Amino acid sequence: MAVAGAVVLCVLAGAAVGVGVLDGRRDAAAADVQASASASVAARALADDAAAREVAAARASASLAATTRQEARSALLAAVEDGGATLDATDGEVADDAVRDALAQVLQRAKHALESTPQDAEAGEGGSAGGGGPAGEGGSVAALRALAAEVVAARAAVAASHEEWVAEREARAREAARTPAPPPAGRDPGGSDDDRCRTTYDGPPFYTSPPTKGGDGSNGRLPGSMLAATSWGVDPKGTRYYLRTEATAALERLNVAFRAEFGHDLDLDLTYRDYATQVAMREALGSIAARPGTSKHGTGYALDVPELPCEYGYGTPQHTWLVGTGPSFGWVQPSWARQGGSNPEYWHFEYVG
């Protein structure tokens, strides 16, 4: 009984195993079907991928074309901006005005081309962008590039002409340095017959600087937003005297007191001096001029009165008054500039607030 039961159990177990095997086969078949289905899905996916890749490639190609035009447009825009800045900065400061006219003309053509060229990078795909229209879409890249090259070349010609102009100016300055600078015109400095009253300056003529266009605020590169001109006086070129706004405000108050004392405005010789002018002065004067980028005049916080020893020299009533009264208006003569200082410059004052 026990054996029979065992056999029955075995048969049952065998049947169970058989069922199990059968199930296994079914599973395998199902797996095959699934695998084949997966394969076809994968194949379809691959096909889809390929199609997607084609679409992507087509898009990329269109986008590349648009990007290329966009890049050409950006390059032209940058060239136009640079060219415009050069044009602004060289007014009256080129050896040959014709090169500035040429630059102005090519800039005008470039601006016109920019205005009539689609700005949107997608515009190339549908050709639906307005402005330039489809005509010359392919060619406009070449046209934009050609124009950019023209602008760059015209700008280089202006820069070269400006360099020439600067060299001529410096040559004139060196020439002038060989002859003593005449005393400033206008008021009689008093005792002008006296050699001791002649100007103590014998370098090239120099000028104060207007605000620096596009200046970043560093030494010698102060923009108009940081500077204010005094209400009186211009240099021999007609440039007004600029200082940092608060220094000018304080100097205006000091000048009211000076005028009450001496009957005329404080004479100015130099206030703000830009970097380029400091470079030129350093070249002309050597180490007497501060290294470009370090001059106190480049900060807009320094002024020089004229180098007239009988008017502003040590011991004159004006100098004594300025040294004594200036500090209550924030203007001092630094110790190095005083008599007996390390670099006596009776004419130099600084705003310290």
CB of 169 to Zn ion, least distance (A): 21
Question: Is the CB of 206 or the CB of 258 nearer to Zn ion?
Answer: 206
Instruction: Dig out the tokens for 67 from the structure.
Output: 């990007």
Question: Is the CB of 224 or the CB of 344 nearer to Zn ion?
Answer: 344
Number of residues binding to Zn ion, judged by CB under 5 A: 2
- In sequence order, the 6+-apart residues with CB closer than 8 A to the CB of 343 are 336, 337
Instruction: List the interface residues with Zn ion, window 271-330 (CB under 5 A).
Output: 304
Is 235 a binding residue for Zn ion by CB under 5 A? The answer is: no
- In sequence order, the 6+-apart residues with CB closer than 8 A to the CB of 273 are 206, 208, 209, 220, 281, 295, 297, 298
Question: Is the CB of 150 or the CB of 267 nearer to Zn ion?
Answer: 267
Q: Which segment (77-85, 164-172, 244-252, 341-349) binds Zn ion by CB under 5 A?
A: 341-349
**Closest by alpha carbon to 276, among 91, 136, 125, 89?**
89
Q: What is the CA radius of gyration of the chain?
A: 41
Instruction: Dig out the tokens for 117 from the structure.
Output: 């060229």
Q: Which residue is nearest to Zn ion (CB)?
A: 348
Which sign does the torsion angle of CA 306, 309, 311, 313 carry?
positive
Q: Which segment (222-230, 238-246, 326-334, 345-353) binds Zn ion by CB under 5 A?
A: 345-353
Is 348 a binding residue for Zn ion by CB under 5 A? The answer is: yes
Question: Is the CB of 235 or the CB of 304 nearer to Zn ion?
Answer: 304
**HSE-CB for 333 with a 13 A CA cutoff:** 26
- In sequence order, the 6+-apart residues with CB closer than 8 A to the CB of 20 are none
Question: Is the CB of 244 or the CB of 348 nearer to Zn ion?
Answer: 348
Instruction: Dig out the tokens for 152 from the structure.
Output: 């760059």
The Cα–Cα gap between 203 and 173 comes to 8
Binding characters for Zn ion, 57-96, by CB under 5 A (x = yes): ----------------------------------------
CB of 231 to Zn ion, least distance (A): 21
CB of 287 to Zn ion, least distance (A): 15
Q: Which segment (38-46, 155-163, 322-330, 343-351) binds Zn ion by CB under 5 A?
A: 343-351
Instruction: Dig out the tokens for 307 from the structure.
Output: 């180098």
Is 338 a binding residue for Zn ion by CB under 5 A? The answer is: no
Chain residues that interact with Zn ion, rule: CB under 5 A: 304, 348
